Structure 1
Amino acid sequence: MRRFNYLALVFCVGSVYAVPPDWPEVCPDIVNRTRWDGRLPVAVDYAIIPIKFVVIHHTVTPECTSETSCSSMVRSIQNFHMDTLEFQDIGYNFLVGGDGKVYEGASWHKVGAHTRGYNSRSLGLAFIGNFSNKTPSDAQLKAAKDFLECAMELGELDKNYQLFGARQVSATESPGAKLFNEIKKWRHFSRSP
């Protein structure tokens, strides 16, 4: 019975974030799964908050510039993760679109499938697009920074969290050379995760 009550509380808290009455001012527009027409996960694993690490990725897909095109791209990524890679859900916790909005992926306090060895203790934030040879738009960068501040305000991220690029802990080029050079300037960036 206790487990049921705990899960009910977690689902209740999760739904509060979808349309919260006292959303911190710094929070960007977060497009929830209903708005982008996301599939239900096969299963959900919960992370202990506050999260201590943020791993930045890029999706290596075409970019998107509107809620319609970004929602379509997020659905495509979710389908690939679930149908081809056999993940329980979309692997990233959140994604940042070129429209300056953040898209809910696996979501708050959920274990994603984005960086082996870090999934249960990090938040995976992916920039939609390929940022090997170009920097994300100012709107995309601002949305990501605002999102991280928002996550701290909500208590999802530890106030002293460490941020790093996926390439620092995995054999990948993600988040792309240009984006990686950008996040090196961010205040929570860690050179040695």
Structure 2
Amino acid sequence: MKCLQVVTYLAVLFSEVFTVSPDWPRICPDIVNKNRWGGRIAVAVDYAIIPIKYVIIHHTVTPECDSQTSCANIMKSIQNFHMDTMDFHDVGYNFVVGGDGKIYEGSGWHKVGAHTRGYNSRSIGLGFIGDFSSKRPLNLQIRAAKDFLECAIQLGELDKNYVLFGARQVSATASPGSQLFKEIQNWTHFVQVP
């Protein structure tokens, strides 16, 4: 009984300190943390000041995935490449959207990623698993990404007036692929000139 009283007390305290949207449970997609996908521990961590002002969209230029198992295998491959070949401290993207509609933790919340030189300390790098040069991501991925961004605002990680753009707008890259870039131009917060 005492455990139930403590939980009730904490719930009331939480509700008095934080304002949570009535849509809260629906807005936040399933975020698969490193333990769940079998990720390695970061070699080092640099912290970003929150709330973050920018979101930069990327694609991973890897095969696509449609289950937590296949997405986890791709995440391990990305992490190994980033850490072992590129000498990054961790996955370069902060988070990655899988073809199963789940969000996969990369370097994570309020941490400096290694995805876009000049913007890493002040942005969330959001990658999409797959190559979206000639095809659009699944609706499931797009919905998960939009829900994730709303969730990030709710958590105080992302500024409510954030600016969103594709990596190609600030870096010599084709990322996030022509079709994904075309898609994000219709999203709220997208800007033509970062």
Pair in the same fold by TM > 0.5: yes
Runs of 4+ in 1 over 3 A off after TM superposition: none
State the partner residue of 1:10: none
Q: How does 1:81-96 map to 2 (within 5 A)?
A: 81-96=82-97
Letter in 1 for 2:97: V
The TM-score normalised by the length of structure 2 is 0.87
Q: For 2:39, what is the secondary structure of its paired residue?
A: coil
Alignment of 1:143-154 (within 5 A): 143-154=144-155
Give the number of equivalent residue pairs.
Answer: 172
User: Cα offset for 1:188?
Assistant: 0.6
State how far apart, in whole Å, the 2-side matches of 1:107 and 1:82 are.
15
The residue that corresponds to 1:35 in the other structure is 36
Q: Which residue of 2 aligns with 1:158?
A: 159
* C-alpha displacement of 1:167: 0.1
Once the two structures are TM-superposed, the CA of residue 33 in structure 1 deviates from its matched residue by 0.6
Aligned residue in 1 for 2:4: none
Q: How far, CA to CA, are the matches of 2:45 and 2:33 in structure 1? A: 17
Aligned-partner Cα distance in 1 for 2:151–2:182: 23
Counterpart of 2:79 in structure 1 is: 78
- Which secondary structure does the structure 2 equivalent of 1:164 belong to? strand
Read off the aligned partner of 1:114 and give its amino acid letter: H
Question: What's 1:11 paired with?
Answer: none
SS in 2 for 1:189: coil
Whichever residue aligns with residue 136 of structure 1, its letter is: P
What aligned pairs does 1:1-193 form with structure 2 within 5 A after superposition? Answer: 24-25=24-25, 26-193=27-194
Q: Distance in 2 between matches of 1:48 and 1:91?
A: 17
RMSD of equivalent CA atoms: 1.0
> Distance between the aligned counterparts of 2:62 and 2:34, measured in 1?
20
TM-score, normalised on structure 1? 0.88
For 1:141 and 1:173, locate their aligned partners in 2 and report how far apart those are by CA, in whole Å: 19
Looking at structure 1, the residues matched to 33 and 86 of structure 2 have their Cα atoms a distance apart, in angstroms, of: 23
Measure, in 1, the Cα distance between the counterparts of 2:89 and 2:56: 19
Q: Kindly state the Cα deviation for residue 29 of structure 1 after the two structures are TM-superposed.
A: 0.5
For 1:121 and 1:167, locate their aligned partners in 2 and report how far apart those are by CA, in whole Å. 17
How far has the Cα of 1:186 moved from its partner? Answer: 0.2
Mark the runs of 5 or more structure 1 residues left unpaired by the alignment: 1-21
SS of corresponding position for 1:162: strand
Highest CA radius of gyration, 1 or 2? 2
2:49 match: secondary structure: coil
Deviates more, 1:111-120 or 1:22-31: 22-31
Whole-angstrom distance in 2 between the partners of 1:121 and 1:132: 26
Which residue type is aligned with residue 102 of structure 1? I
